[in-house]
Amino acid sequence: MGGSYSLYGRRKDTEKYVFLQDLDDNYMQVFKHNAVAYAQDKKHELMKAIYLYHGQLRLGKAYVKGNFFELTFQSAAYAAQWDSAWEEVSDVPWLFRNFTSNFKPVQTDYDYMRVYRKN
């Protein structure tokens, strides 16, 4: 897996991991944008899940399961970064406002996870 921060996906049809893009120091903001776009079927429609990596270490996973959007992070510190990150827009309009009106947070017992339920 990449050298610095990178975004990967796992294809629905082949289960293979594919490189999506390199990320800069704003990695969590870009991951948040891609994850929110993925949850709303705006990007990465062919992916089963998307992943945030730092070198070979997986920092985060975004996965849609039915009406639930689950994020699992390597630690509670990365989950807290997700909470405080602003979505960084690159090629799709700002989506987090639509996300918060369509998905509501669900309580979880794990401080390294974030779960949302689609309305």
At 86, list the tokens. Answer: 């602003």
Global confidence as pTM: 0.86
User: What is the model's pLDDT at position 101?
Assistant: 78
H or E element at residue 37? helix 27-39
> What pLDDT was estimated at residue 49?
98
Categorize the per-residue pLDDT at 93 as very low, low, confident or very high, splitting at 50, 70 and 90: low
Whether the pLDDT of residue 119 is over 90: the answer is no
Q: If pLDDT is split at 50, 70 and 90, which confidence band does 98 have?
A: confident
Gap between the Cα atoms of 119 and 115, Å rounded:
13
pLDDT score, position 90: 56
What percentage of the chain exceeds 70 in pLDDT? 88
pLDDT in tens, 26-75: 899 999 989 988 998 888 999 999 999 999 999 999 999 999 999 999 99
> Nearest 5 degrees, angle CA 85-CA 74-CA 26?
30
